[in-house]
Amino acid sequence: MKASEVLRKYQQGERDFRRLSLRGQSFKGKNLEGADFSEADIRGANFTNAYLKGAKFCGAKAGLQRRWAIFLVIVSWLLSALSGIFSIWTGLFVSLIFYEDIESIIAGVISLIVLVAFLVVTIRKGLARGFGASAIAGAGAVAVAVIGAIAGAIAGAIAVTGAIAGAIAIAITIAGSFAGAGAIAGAGAIAGAGAVALLGAYIGWRGLAGDEKHAWLRPFAIAFAATGGTSFYNANLTDADFTAATLKGTDLRKANLTRTCWRDTKKLDRIRPGDSYLENTKVRELVITKDGKNKKFDHLPNLQGINLQGANLVSADFTGSVLKDATLHRANLTDAILTETSLIGTNLQDANLSRAKLVQTKLDQANFTGAILTGAYIEDWGITPATILNGVQCEYIYMHLPSKDDPDPCRKPDNKKEVFKDGEFADFIAPLVKTLDLYHTDGVDPRAVAIAFQDLIEKNPEAEIEIISMEKRGKNKDKFLIRAETVKDANHSELSQEYFDKYTYVKALSPEAVEQLLAEKDNQIRWFQGQISFAIKKPNIQAHSYHQQGDSNMNKNSGINTGGGNYIHGNYIENTGRDRIGTVKGDIINAAPAKTNLAEAAAEIEQLLKQLEISYPTTTISEQMIVAAEVVKRIESNPNLKKRVVYALKEGGLAAFEKAIDNPVGAFVVGAIKGWQEVETE
C-alpha cells in the first residue's frame, strides 16, 4: 500500500494497518500516533521525524529492500578485492626471504617479523596496538640494517592498510581474496596474503560479536549495512511496541525511545542505536529477554525511559544508573540494589521491591502505587511531595543498611512483633509539604535569627510563612535548621536569600544595636528568640539523616513507636499539624522524682493557658507565641508565681518542668522563661 493511502485512511480514523507491505514508503514527519503496523513489511520505509507514540510494530519486518541489499553486496565485493590487493603486496614483501641476494633476504626477514608481530598483537590486543607492535619491530630491525628498516616500515604499513580494508569487507560479507598471489610471488606471497586476509575475517567477526578490542569496527560495518534500511531517525517512539519485530539494518539514531518495548525482538544488535541505551550489549539483551537476575547494570547514565515492565530483576544492581521516566511496572526487584539510582518520574506501580536497597535513591514524581516495599532499606531516600505512595504494601521498613552486628538496623515499627497496617506506611513516611529550609552553619545567633525571620514574615505576607520545625543538625550538633511552610508558588530561593541577607547584617551589628532592634519589636519576637535559644542549647538532640522535603507525622493511635527513625527525636520542636503546633517531643531522663511545687507551678501555668485560649486562637505557631508571651507577662506581674516557677526550675529542672505542662503552647513558655533560671543562678 502506498504511503498516501495509509495517511488518507489514518485521517479518516483508521488505525489498523497490520500485515501490509509498506516497503520503501515514506512517512517522513507524519503523525501516526497509535497506528498498528504489526506484521507489516516496513523494509526500507522512512519514518524520519515521524510522531509514532503508542504505535505497534509487533512482528514487523524492518531492514533493507532487495535492491539495496544487492547494491551493498557488490560494494562489499569491491572492498574484498581491495583487501586482496593489499594482502598480495604484504605477501610479496614476505616472499623476499626466498631471494638469493642478502639485501632481499634481510628485507624479507624484517617484513616477516613485522607481519608476525602485527598479527599476534592485533589478535590479542586489537588493531591499534597491532600497528604499534609492527612499528616497534621495524624500529628494532633498523639497528641491524637501514635497508631492512625501510622495507619493514613499508611492509608494516601495507599490512595494516590491507587488514583495515579486509576487516570492513569481511564484517559485511565475510569475503576475501587470494586470487593472483601465486602468479606474482609464489608460495610466500600466497602465505602472506592468506594471513592478512584471514586476519581481516577474524577482526570482522570479533567486531560484530561485540569484542571491545575491535569495537571501532562495529559502527562502520552496521552503518554501511543499514544504508537504505528502515529509518526511525529522530522519530518519537514513546510507548511504541516492537515485540518480536525483526530490526536488522534499522536506523534508531536520535529517536525518542521512552518506554518503548523491545521484548523478543530479532537482530536488535544490527541496528544503528546512536547514543541510546541500545548501544550497550548487556542492556540490549535485558530489554529483549526482560531477565536481569543477578546482573550488574551499574553506573549507566543513559537508561532514561527504558521499558522493563514485568522484568525479572531479582538482585540486579543499578547502582548510580539513571532510569528517569522508565517503566518498572510489575517488575520483580526483590533484593535489587538501587543505591544512588535516579528513578525520577519512574513508573513502579505493582513492582515488588521487597528488601531492595533504596539508599539515596532519587524518587521525585516516582509512582509506587500498589508496590511492595516490605523489608526495603530506605536510608536517605529522596522522596518528595510529588512521590506517589498510594496503596503501597509494606509491613516493615529499615531506615539504615544492615551490618554484621545489626542485621535489622532501625526497623520501623520498632517492635518486631508489629507491622504497618494497610495504608499506614504511606501516612508514616510521606512528606506533607514542600518547605522553606533555612540552614545555619556557623555560630547561630538566636537574636539575629528572630529579627531576620520576623522581618521576612512582615515583608512577604503573601508567602504565608509558617514555622514547622526547628532542629539541630550536623555530627557535633552545631548546625541549626528552621523549616517553614509557605504557599505553593512562593519562591524559596528568593525568600532564603532575603532571610540570610538580613541575618548576616544583624549578626554583624554590635550587641547594643541588636538590643535596640529588639526593643523596637513587640513581645512576640522576644519569645521567638527565647524559643530558638531553647532549641539550640538543649542537649541530646538526635536526627536520623532523611532526605525528603517536608515533615512526616503519624497517627498517635497507631501504636507504632517512631523514635529513632525518620522522626527527629530528642529536643526537636515540630509542627505536627495545623491543630497542634509546637509540641516539644523527646526522651528525657530525670533521676529526681517530681516535686510537688513543680507540679503546682505547672498546673498554674496550664490554668493560665486554658483561660487565654478562650480569647486567643492557638492554631498557628505565631498565635501560640502570642499566647505564650501573654502567659509570661502575667507571670512577671505576679511576683509570688514567678518565684514559684523559678524555684520549680531549680528543683526539678527545665526538662521536667517542660514535661509537666500538658499543653502544646507550654514549649514556648518554657523556652521564653529559660533565662530566669540562668539569672537566678547568677
Q: Sketch the domain layout of the chain as residue ranges.
A: 67-219, 290-430, 435-585, 596-681
pLDDT at position 584 is 34
Question: In DSSP terms, which residues pair with 619 in a beta bridge?
Answer: none
Phi–psi pair at 323, nearest 5 degrees:
-115, 35
What pLDDT is recorded for position 672? 65
> Residue 99: its pLDDT value, please?
63
**Model confidence pTM above 0.85:** no
Predicted local confidence at residue 586, as pLDDT: 35
pLDDT of residue 214: 53
* pLDDT one-digit tens code per residue, 446-456: 778 888 888 89
What secondary structure letter does DSSP report for 534?
H
- Tabulate helix, strand, coil % of the chain (nearest 5): 45, 10, 45
Please give the pLDDT value at position 210: 55
Q: Three cell numbers at 192?
A: 602472506
> Comparing C-alpha atoms, which of 488, 480, 471, 383 is closest to residue 435?
488
What is the DSSP annotation of 609-653? HHHHHHHS--SSHHHHHHHHHHHHHHHHT-HHHHHHHHHHHHHHH
- The pLDDT assigned to 633 comes to 77
For 86-105, b/e burial (b = at least 16 CB within 10 A) is: bbbbbbbbbbbbeeeeeebe
The SS3 assignment for 525 reads helix
Residue 436 has which C-alpha cell?
A: 522553606
Listed as ranges, residues in the chain with pLDDT below 50 are 122, 126-189, 192-193, 199, 432, 539-596, 679, 681-682
Quote the crossing angle between the two packed helices 666-681 and 523-537, to the nearest 10°: 80
Rounded distance between C-alpha atoms, residue 177 and residue 89, angstroms: 12
Predicted confidence at residue 115, as pLDDT, reads 56
DSSP run (H or E) holding 307: none
CATH topology of domain 290-430: Pectate Lyase C-like (2.160.20)
Q: What per-residue confidence (pLDDT) applies to 356?
A: 97
